[in-house]
Amino acid sequence: MANQKLKLLYLAKFLREETDEEHPRTVQDMIAYLSAYDIPAERKAIYDDLKLLETAGMDIQTVKAKSFGYFLGERDFQLAELKMLIDVVQASPFLTQSKSMELIGKLEKQTSRSNARQLRRQVYVMHRVKTGNETLYYAVDGIQAAINENRKIAFHYFDYSVSGEKIFRHGDAAYTVNPVALCVDRFYYLIAYDTENKEYRHYRVDRMARLTVCGETRDALPEGFDLGEYVKTIFDMFNGKTESVHLRFDNSLLNVVTDRFGLDAPRRPDGPDGFELFAPVEVGPTFFGWLFQFGSQARIIGPESVRRAFLQHCQSTLLPYLKK
């Protein structure tokens, strides 16, 4: 009798795991499945159970062929959505290889076994750089908790040596910061506010160790922080001085520039083959490197200080190649 009380749960499990549009199953299949768990069932009772599961919200579809077949239709995730999510998991450099496979395994459970085999065939090892820091997920949880509770966080921050060893900055002294937001730009970054210097700083979360949420309340943060607008000003999370820059691009770069600055960045035509754009950016080597790749198709119009800084950057980059 105890097993009989589990009948609906096992029947729902069977529909989730063993059926889909291409693989409907019969009532007899369901009876055999339940029998394997020592749960006796009659055909009429199965019909009643299926109606109960539909009433509870399961989208049970019927296929009329030689004999009736049933399958679970609408699910939380459709197969195309799961494929897309798996692509994202595989492409994420901030996920370790083991965590990637663990998440993919969980995603596979969101569809039938047959469809899961399709997803498994999609999984292949790509030559991507993956983080080796398994504590990333605990750090992300801690940072989010601190932000929600309006508290500071402390952590130790490291770089990698040539041999791959961790070298902690500041003699392994802890950083204590005011967390503002988490941002994903290839890697997870913490955006923190430096009250003393009145500026935002960025830290790679996968390079943090021993993160703790402090009992101390965060310092007062500037009002009106807009993460979406802020991210538009930075290049690969490089910390630099924010300047409003006047740029000129060839029309062939319109899509690339739109991807970088968005549709709302002020722009205007400049002759038949180009356009000008005005945007705030954090000026520094990363921005200059992004601009340099376009050669003569991109140009800084102003301010003059940024033009000079870009020229100096280009000269210092080329100098080693000019030396005999």
As a CATH number, domain 136-228 is: 2.30.30
Other CB atoms within a 10 A radius of the CB of residue 112 amount to 22
β-sheet bridge partners, residue 192: 179, 201
User: CATH assignment of 2-72?
Assistant: 1.10.10.10
Q: Which two tokens stand for residue 200?
A: 């935002």
The domain ranges of the chain are: 2-72, 79-122, 136-228, 233-322
- Position 227 scores a pLDDT of 76
Instruction: Report CA-CA distances (Å) from 116 to 22, 82, 196, 226.
Output: 13, 10, 53, 40
- The pLDDT of residue 267 is 85
* Same fold: 2-72 with 136-228: no
Amino acid 2: pLDDT: 57
Q: Tell me if the bond preceding 303 is cis, omega within 30° of 0.
A: yes
Mean pLDDT, each 10-residue run in order, the chain (324 residues):
80 92 91 92 92 92 80 88 82 76 88 83 54 74 90 92 81 93 80 90 89 94 80 62 88 84 83 89 86 92 93 89 77
* Contacts with 162 (C-beta within 8 Å, 6 or more apart), sequence order: none
Per DSSP, the chain holds a count of helices (H) and strands (E) of 12, 12
What is the value of pTM for the model shown?
A: 0.55
Rounded to whole angstroms, the Cα distance separating 188 from 135 reads 13
SS (H, E, C) 150-187: CEEEEEEEEEECCCCCEEEHHHHCCEEEEEEEEEEECE
Measured at the alpha carbon of residue 17, what is the angle toward residues 12 and 18, in degrees to the nearest 5?
A: 100
Angle at 303 between CA 301 and CA 306, to 5 degrees: 95
The confidence score (pLDDT) of residue 127 equals 47
